[in-house]
Amino acid sequence: MTKFKRKPEAHDRANRLRFHNVKEQHLSVGDVADRLLRFVAEDPRASYHFAIGTDCQVHPNHTKFITGLVLHRLGRGAWACYRPYVLGRELDSIREKLALETSLSQEMAAHLEEHRVVSRMEELLLPHVYQGAELRTFIDIDAGTEPCLNPTALYVQEMIARVETIGSYVPRVKPEAYCASSYANRYTKRPAKFVM
């Protein structure tokens, strides 16, 4: 039987992923997986919404992206963190911004899949499904559907189709896409200290 090893560049890329929240800094993907699972284990009879969403802000000479992860225990709190990514140029194209935001959210879902985060949360909740335990997963797209209010509306269907290709996450747009349009958005405002 042939054993497949992960390519070194993929391992290096995963090691460069660092997450932050109001209490902790420089968390790895493994740390984030542990925090999410611990949060679910605290109350495995609850109903949860898990969302990944990315927003960006254009600053002089760079564009700052923030990918947020929010695990919401409905009616009883949440655990959240975010990952910054800085592109060394100003993005002008709305379509390019949305495409990169969506790609970063999909990439995050793939990193979490390596740790089986969603399936492990499901395993914790499954014995309690008849007591109300539930898990719904979303990728939030920072776009609206009203053409007269939001120029992103032109690209909404394209981004929804991209998210639907990964299957395990339901795409959400504004105003429901709070992970991107609210949580991630708040961390995009300050310019990056350095540009990659």
CB within 8 Å of 154: residues ≥ 6 apart? 94, 95, 147
Residue 110 pLDDT: 94
Q: pLDDT tens digit string along 47-81? A: 999 999 999 999 999 999 999 999 999 999 999 99
pLDDT band at 8 (very low <50, low <70, confident <90, very high): very low
Cβ burial of 153 (10 Å; 0-12, 13-18, 19+) is: middle
Chain-wide mean pLDDT for the chain? Answer: 88
Q: How confident is the model over 21-38, as a mean pLDDT? A: 95
CB within 8 Å of 104: residues ≥ 6 apart? 54, 65, 67, 85
Residue 149 pLDDT: 66
Q: Where are the domains of the chain?
A: 45-186
Report which listed range, 37-51, 134-148, 158-172, 178-192, is most confident. 37-51
